[in-house]
Amino acid sequence: MDVMRFKLVLLFFISLFMFTDCSVENDVNKIVITSDDYMKFNTSKITVKSGKLVKLTLIHTGVLDAKVMGHNFVLLKRNVDIMDFGNRAALASNNEYIPIDSDEVIVYTKMIGGGESTSIEFLPPEIGVYDFICSFPGHYAMMKGKFIVE
Ligand SMILES: [Cu+2]
């Protein structure tokens, strides 16, 4: 292979790599949410682009154990009553605080304690506004927000 052809081939692969890298970034909704020992999420509004994979990471920046200050991220379907759901979730300690056989949840993370993090990937639901909460007993009152698909 002569030098010219080698350079062309090299250029081709470099551009391919750059293009791939770029498009991957643009095709993913990368979301990072933090939570703490004070029963709070760092945000009450998450906006994602329709049709693009969501990579959501939940971080617990506190030190308290999951048994006393556990947090998760639960994305609810539309028209789900948060208080009603939250009260039933509180009884489901043996199921990550998700009511067994519930069809009200789009997606949820596992329950984590201080110093831990967890990630999930999912395709967003159809365009609209949804509620997200932490379903640890009593937390939904403070730990909730809007998940907007646009
Ligand atoms: Cu919580």
What are the boundaries of each domain within the chain?
Answer: 24-149
- Cα 4 to ligand 1 centroid, rounded to whole Å: 60
Residue ranges with strand state E in the chain? 28-35, 45-48, 53-60, 74-76, 105-108, 117-122, 128-133, 144-149
The residue with greater pLDDT, 14 or 73, is 73
Please state, for a pLDDT cut of 70, what percent of the chain lies above it.
83
- Cα 26 to ligand 1 centroid, rounded to whole Å: 31
Average of pLDDT values for 18-23? 48
- On whether the CB atoms of residues 91 and 84 are closer than 8 A, the answer is no
- Cα 10 to ligand 1 centroid, rounded to whole Å: 51
- Cα 113 to ligand 1 centroid, rounded to whole Å: 9
- Cα 111 to ligand 1 centroid, rounded to whole Å: 8
DSSP β-ladder status, 74-76 and 105-108: antiparallel
Name the one residue in this structure whose structure tokens are 């759901």. Answer: 85
Q: What is the CATH number of domain 24-149?
A: 2.60.40.420
pLDDT in tens, 25-59: 578 999 999 999 999 999 999 999 999 999 999 99
